[in-house]
Amino acid sequence: MIRALLAAGLLAVVSSAYAEPVPAGLWSTPKDKAQVRITACGDSLCATLVGLKKPNDREGRPKRDVRNPNLALRSRPVVGVSLVSDMRPDGDAWSGTVYNPDDGRTYSGRIVVDGADRLQLQGCVAGVLCKTQVLRRLR
């Protein structure tokens, strides 16, 4: 009983720290090409690529982060790569950075919660040219 009350109290404190809903959980990209796990990382959000529809390359090896600008990171498997970092509450959204392993670039980004099972993940260049993906909740 005491543990339950402490857990509820902790949840209330964490929830009050965020004005926006915390979209923690497992999410899928369009066409189920990838699965992303979003978690609270201190007072921000982070997200990790946890699965791919096609996790291996043509030779059957795990896909690598081959376009990463850091040459030392190009041999690491892309599954497990941090995609979203330092997302902090920003009005009705979360703002931070988004890494795209498809092109090896890091963008300014936003997460907008669009209902209990949908969110919009946006990456922008110079704050003007933006691309948005709609992710749906798996769990």
Mean pLDDT across the stretch 50-63?
A: 96
Tell me if 11 is assigned to some domain: no
In a domain, 37, yes or no: yes
pTM score of the predicted model: 0.82
Higher pLDDT, 108 or 20: 108
Q: Any idea what the CATH number is for the domain that residue 46 is in? A: 2.40.128.520
Is 8 part of any domain? no
Let me know if residue 10 belongs to a domain.
no
For residue 71, the 8-state DSSP code is G
Residues spanned by the domain of 116 = 21-137
Instruction: Answer yes or no: is 7 within a domain.
Output: no
In a domain, 44, yes or no: yes
Q: How confident is the model at residue 18 (pLDDT cuts 50, 70, 90)?
A: very low
Rounded to whole angstroms, how far apart are CA atoms 64 and 79?
8
pLDDT bracket for residue 35 (50, 70, 90)? very high
How many structural domains comprise the chain?
Answer: 1
Specify the higher pLDDT residue, 37 or 21.
Answer: 37
Q: Is-contact 21 113, C-beta < 8 A?
A: yes
CA distance 99 to 68: 9
In a domain, 123, yes or no: yes
Tell me: the pLDDT tens digits for 88-137? 999 999 999 999 999 999 999 999 999 999 999 999 998 789 999 999 99
Q: Higher pLDDT residue, 11 or 118?
A: 118
- Residue 13 falls within a domain, yes or no? no
Q: Say if residues 124 and 112 touch (Cβ distance below 8 Å).
A: no
